[in-house]
Structure 1
Amino acid sequence: MGKRNGEESIADASLNESALVDAPSTAKEEYEHLCSLVNAIAKPLANRKLAKKLYKLVRKSAKHQHYLRQGLKDVQKAIRKKEKGIMILAGNVSPIDVYSHIPALCEEHEIPYAFTPSREQLGLAAGHRRPAIVLLVRPNSNYQELYDEVGLKQHFYKVYEAVNALVVE
């Protein structure tokens, strides 16, 4: 509650400037920073363009009540009931054990899936402040064109990853 020294305020100012220098300045740098924070099972990770389209798809589907399944329990129930759609998983979830079985379920039920680098952005796209770790977007006529475009890219990306894995082995 007393007076501050001039030295303390200078130190605080230099600390704030160094924090600004370290922060990513462009969208590409921010995406690369988020990609560096993903866990080990986050494959296939959507590239920046596809992630942007996935977030747009989630925003559009969130406006329609029964076309977006949110949360692990609800998504698992939807998979058991044989609902089809595109699965979007967050890549920076810790511990991994929470949702590590979901990609296997998706492959078993032939549901296309992709990881995005940030659960916070996934939650914001879904329309709430809480982070979202897994979403299932069901097809709807209002956003069918975007859904088809993302679905085709997902399929191509999945095939590309499978071929790439064979080449590496």
Structure 2
Amino acid sequence: MAQNYNQLRKGANEVTKTLKRGISELVILAGDATPLEILLHIPLLCEDKNVAYVFVRSKQALGRACGVSRPVIACSVTALEGSQLTPHIKTIFNEIERLLI
């Protein structure tokens, strides 16, 4: 859905950029990324910036969810003022927070 609103950035480098710029709302990481070390800095950045992040099992499934045929190891849903996705992002953020408690 975020892809349709041009609020989706794919790849570890793009996710890192959005986190450092402070425009990231939600980060999704693939648990089967090899080597896993290419993703290990992202959860630390997320916690510094208070951005919710989750791991999914498969980079293939994450790629399909992002609307591409290639595997994706990380993606970020970015903030956009007045976006229709804002309530959905807040709901997801609240669900993630609830899982952590």
- Quick check: TM above 0.5? yes
| Percentage of pairs with the same residue | 28
Q: Which residue of structure 2 lines up, in the alignment, with residue 80 of structure 1?
A: 20
- 1:50 alignment partner in structure 2: none
Structure 2 gap segments, 5+ residues each: none
1:5-154 alignment runs, 5 A limit: 60-65=1-6, 67-139=7-79, 141-154=83-96
Of structures 1 and 2, the one with the larger relative CO (CA 8 A, separation 6+) is 2
- Gaps spanning 5+ residues in structure 1: where? 1-59, 161-169
Q: For residue 98 of structure 2, give the secondary structure of its aligned residue in structure 1.
A: helix
State the alpha-carbon separation in 1 of the partners of residues 37 and 24 from structure 2.
24
Give the aligned residue type for 1:93.
Answer: A
Q: Offset of 1:69 from its aligned partner?
A: 1.3
Task: Provide the rounded CA distance (Å) in 2 between the counterparts of 1:98 and 1:155.
Answer: 25
Instruction: Note the aligned Cα RMSD (angstroms).
Output: 1.4
Structure number, greater radius of gyration:
1
- Where has structure 1 moved over 2 Å in runs of 4 or more? 138-146
Distance in 1 between residues matched to 2:78 and 2:21, nearest whole Å: 13
Count of aligned pairs: 99
Structure with more of its chain in strand, by fraction:
2
- Which has more helix, going by share of residues? 1
Distance 1:77 1:84 in 2: 9
Shift of 1:101: 1.2
The two structures have a TM-score, normalised by structure 2, of 0.88
The one-letter amino acid paired with 1:154 is I
Aligned mates of 1:70, 1:113 — CA distance in 2 = 14
What displacement does 1:139 show?
4.2
AA of the residue aligned to 2:20:
R
